[in-house]
């Protein structure tokens, strides 16, 4: 009975809804066009699983450190540690299980990929301990985490990461990070700093400028990628849904007061989902040679 009562809190502590971020590890296979390479897919999928375990380890450690502050937050107080559903010892044991899973999966990966995964873990441990309270650095660290996912995936698939895709990923992650901070300030008002200490160093006007800059850079880098990465292939056709997705995200953040949980927008907003599907299908059709050759 005790095991049954703690199973759901343990699952929530892992934050499986945020594992969608780790799909980025498959980008190397997708953008390189190595769709029939089963070895590349196999290795990339193992990296996805390793990052799911690694990110859950980081989330648990972060929740252990933040449990007292989370109890003062009107939504975070429902987290398993803050609410008292799980104890610190149980959380630490679960974190160790996640770390062991990372080590086991790493046994079949290249050394370079292993280094990236443990670099991600180390970086985010420093983030949880101190860096998350330093303005700009907090969002930069989260963006670098996405770059590490992309690099791990490309290294596992034995493909080269395009400079344009690296830049696009970095700027897109910055854009979503600043949009998240903007939504947090908008939703929490005068209590924003008590919700997240670093929010005291940001203003809505500042974050709007940051979002405009990084959103523009994201679109520019992706547009240049479509023109330069595959000469003679009209990948430029994939730009409209990509641009729509960025604009839709800004609309939701500024007019609908959303964006505090980016993963929820991607999972629940129908227009963004439609844009992603159209982008994916157009990219796949174009790169497969059905258009423009």
Cα 45 from Cα 41, distance rounded (Å): 6
Is the CB of residue 181 less than 8 Å from the CB of residue 58?
no
CA-based R_g, the chain, Å: 20
Q: Would you state the structure tokens that stand for residue 275, as one six-digit string?
A: 């844009």
Q: Would you state the structure tokens that stand for residue 89, as one six-digit string?
A: 């010892």
- Residue 293: the pLDDT is 45
Is the CB of residue 267 less than 8 Å from the CB of residue 20?
yes
- pTM of this prediction exceeds 0.85: yes
Is the CB of residue 120 less than 8 Å from the CB of residue 146?
no
- CA–CA distances in Å: residue 280 to residues 16, 150, 198, 235, 269: 23, 17, 36, 11, 17
- State the DSSP code for 160: P
Percentage of the chain modeled with pLDDT above 90:
59
CATH number of 6-161: 1.10.357.140
Residue 270's φ and ψ, nearest 5 degrees, are -65, -45
Q: Would you state the structure tokens that stand for residue 204, as one six-digit string?
A: 């809505």
Q: Would you state the structure tokens that stand for residue 19, as one six-digit string?
A: 């594992």
Is the CB of residue 120 less than 8 Å from the CB of residue 51?
yes
pLDDT in tens, 78-87: 889 888 898 9
Higher confidence at residue 151 or residue 231? 151
pLDDT in tens, 242-287: 999 999 999 998 887 777 778 777 778 899 999 999 999 999 888 8
pLDDT at 158 over 50: yes
């Amino acid at each position: 009975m005790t095991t049954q009562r703690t199973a759901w809190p343990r699952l929530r502590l892992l934050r499986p809804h945020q594992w969608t971020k780790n799909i980025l590890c498959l980008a190397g296979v997708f953008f390189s066009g190595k769709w029939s390479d089963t070895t590349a897919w196999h290795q990339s999928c193992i990296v996805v699983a390793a990052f799911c375990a690694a990110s859950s380890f980081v989330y648990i450690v972060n929740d252990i450190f933040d449990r007292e502050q989370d109890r003062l937050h009107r939504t975070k107080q429902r987290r398993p540690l803050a609410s008292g559903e799980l104890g610190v010892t149980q959380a630490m044991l679960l974190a160790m299980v996640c770390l062991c899973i990372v080590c086991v999966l790493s046994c079949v990966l290249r050394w370079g990929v292993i280094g990236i995964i443990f670099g991600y873990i180390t970086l985010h441990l420093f983030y949880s301990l101190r860096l998350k309270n330093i303005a700009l650095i907090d969002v930069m660290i989260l963006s670098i985490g996405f770059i590490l996912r992309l690099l791990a995936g490309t290294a596992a698939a034995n493909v080269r990461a395009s400079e344009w895709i690296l830049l696009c990923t970095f700027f897109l992650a910055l854009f979503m990070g600043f949009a998240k901070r903007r939504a947090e300030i908008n939703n929490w008002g005068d209590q924003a700093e008590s919700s997240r200490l670093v929010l005291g160093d940001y203003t809505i006007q500042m974050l709007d400028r940051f979002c405009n800059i990084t959103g523009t850079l994201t679109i520019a880098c992706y547009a240049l990628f479509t023109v330069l990465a595959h000469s003679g292939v009209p990948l430029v056709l994939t730009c409209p849904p990509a641009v729509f997705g960025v604009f839709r995200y800004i609309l939701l953040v500024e007019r609908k007061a959303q964006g505090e949980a980016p993963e929820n927008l991607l999972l629940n907003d129908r227009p963004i989902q439609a844009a992603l599907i159209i982008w994916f299908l157009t990219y796949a059709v174009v790169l497969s040679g059905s258009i423009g050759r």
